[in-house]
Structure 1
C-alpha cells in the first residue's frame, strides 16, 4: 500500500507537531481543529488507496463519505503519539473494526524507540507490511486465519462477527446444543467446513423458532 504524501499545508502542520519535545506530543492533539485538513487528507488517500475496503476486515464500504470511515492508527496514538502522523502507521478502517481493536498493543516490542518498519515487528496483519491474503481467508462470511498474525487480527477485530450475524445470533439460544454451534462460529481456529456446517445448523434453528407458534 502506498503511504499518504501530505500536501504542503498539511506537511507544515505535521512537521510542527513532530518538532515538539517527546513530552509535548499529546495524542489528544489529533482532535484539535487545526488537524481537520490533515485528517481529511489521510482519509481521502487511504479510502481510495484501499479501494474502499477496510484495512482489517477487507469488507467493501462503497462510499467516500468520510463519516463512514475512521482514520486508523495501526499503533494506537495513545500508546505512541510520536507515530501519530507517520504515513505507514495510518490506514482507513470501518468503525466496527476500529472500535473492536481499540487501544490494543500490536507491536512485538513496545519499547522500541524508532518506528517499527517491518512485518516481523507486529503481532497482527499490517496493512503496509503484509499481504492480507497470506494471513486471512474468507469463505463468504466465515473467516479462517492462515497464520498466527491472522489469528491475532481475527480475535482483536472480532472478524468472526460477520459469520455470527449471518447466522442470526441475535436470537438467544435456550439450549447447550445451540451454544455449541455459536462457539464453533465464533472460533477463529475452526475448520471452514465445520464452521459452515455450524452456520447452516444455526440458520435451521432460527427458522424453526420463527415458525413455532407463540406460547
Structure 2
C-alpha cells in the first residue's frame, strides 16, 4: 500500500547548470525567485511518477489534502537542516498536505547519521526511495480496514510520525484498495472513476 519510489526527477544539462548557478544552497534557495521554474518542472515530474499518491502514507491526495513537494531531509529546520540537499533528486517527493503538516513530518529531522553523500546518509524513517518497503511494513488486508505493522525501527517510527495505524488511515486505505479493484476489474472510464473517488473520499 505504501510503495518504494523508483523514479526521480531528471534535469537537462541546461537546467542542471541553472541549479548549479544557485550554489552554495542556503535554507532559502529553494523558495527563491531564481528557482521558480526548476521547482515547477520538478513538481510536474513527481506528480506524474507518483500517480497522485503520497510518498509517506500511500493515500491519494484527495484523501488527505493537496500534494506538496517534500524535502525528506529538511532544508529549513534549525538546528538540524540540510540545505545542501535542496535539489538532490532522492530528497524530493510528493507528500500529502496531512503527512507534510507541522503535526506530522513538518520540519522533523529524518536523518539519523548525516553524510555529505546523500545516498550514504541513514534515516530514522522508511525512506521513499532508498528503502525496500516490503522489508519494513507488513499488511493485513480486509474489506473495511487495511492494517499496517512495522517490522523495522524505521517503519515503527514512520507509523508513529505519520499516524499510519490510526483508524482513519486504516479505513481510508481499505476504501482506496476497493476502488482500485473496481477500476481494474471493470476497466472503468475516467468520469466514473472520478465519481467513485468523490463517493469514497475520506473525511476527518
Q: Any gaps of 5 or more consecutive residues in structure 1?
A: 168-215
Q: TM-score, normalised by structure 1?
A: 0.63
**Contact 1:10 / 1:37 at 8 angstroms: preserved in 2?**
no
Richer in helix (by share): 1
1:154 match: secondary structure: helix
2:69 maps to 71
1:39 maps to 39
2:124 maps to 123
**What is the Cα deviation at residue 29 of structure 1?**
2.1
Over the aligned positions, Cα root-mean-square deviation in angstroms equals: 2.5
CA distance in 2, matches of 1:123, 1:148: 8
**Contact 2:73 / 2:111 at 8 angstroms: preserved in 1?**
yes
Q: Any gaps of 5 or more consecutive residues in structure 2?
A: 1-5, 172-204
CA distance in 2, matches of 1:38, 1:29: 12
Aligned length: 155
| Higher Rg | 1
Distance change >3 Å, CA 101–CA 93, structure 1 → 2: same
**What is the Cα deviation at residue 96 of structure 1?**
0.7
1:187 maps to none
Name the structure, 1 or 2, with higher relative contact order (CA <8 Å, separation 6+). 2
**Contact 1:54 / 1:61 at 8 angstroms: preserved in 2?**
yes
1:97 maps to 99
1:144 maps to 149
**What is the Cα deviation at residue 117 of structure 1?**
0.7
Q: TM-score, normalised by structure 2?
A: 0.66
Summarize the alignment of residues 195-214 of structure 1 with structure 2, pairs less than 5 Å apart: none
